[in-house]
Amino acid sequence: MQGVLLGVLGIALAYVAAFFPAAAAAAPWLMAPGIVLLLLSLFAMGTGRRGRARSAGFLLGMGFLLVVLSGGFGAALLLPAESAGSPLLLGLPRRAAILVYGIGLLPALVLPVIYALSFEATVLSAAELSELRARLAELSRNPRPTE
């Protein structure tokens, strides 16, 4: 939860900095880590369960995502300004190619494979599934009174 709050704070500070000319140059450098932190924190929150450690596949995926997103945003921010004669990379200017292919397409190709490899360790076990079904059945028999 702290990662989500820090990520949102970084993004909000980037928007605020964009309105002030003296701080506008810092806005992209606040936005990029804010996005990375927010995204990784939301993934971690969405996949965490009490009493169960994260699988090696999940940690591999998070590490991959951290490297790709941080490296992609960092490379796009550090590249020199484009001009009309700048070379194209797979039909796009270099910065756009890094964002589209590196940050957008590469994780979309790799993360499902990592998820498939770690599927057995991340889904509900038979005991957890039967416990969930029993709790749902109990709730359907005894719904809470509405106020």
> What is the tens place of the pLDDT at every residue in 43-87?
888 776 666 677 777 788 889 889 999 999 999 899 888 888 888
Q: Output the six-digit token pair for 61.
A: 């995926």
Tell which wins on pLDDT, 125 or 106.
106
Where does the pLDDT of residue 147 fall: very low under 50, low under 70, confident under 90, or very high at 90 and above? low
Tell which wins on pLDDT, 60 or 6.
6
Owning domain of residue 11 = 1-47
Secondary structure letter of residue 138 according to DSSP: H
Tell which wins on pLDDT, 91 or 117.
91
Same domain, 135 and 100: yes
Same domain, 104 and 147: yes
Contact by Cβ (8 Å): 99, 42: no
Mean pLDDT of 76-103: 87
Q: In sequence order, which residues have a C-beta less than 8 Å from that of residue 30 and are 6 or more positions away?
A: 10, 11, 13, 14, 17
Contact by Cβ (8 Å): 65, 111: yes
Same domain, 22 and 67: no
Supply the pTM of this predicted model.
Answer: 0.73
Same domain, 40 and 70: no
Q: How far is CA 60 from the centre of its chain?
A: 14
Same domain, 74 and 7: no
Same domain, 81 and 119: yes
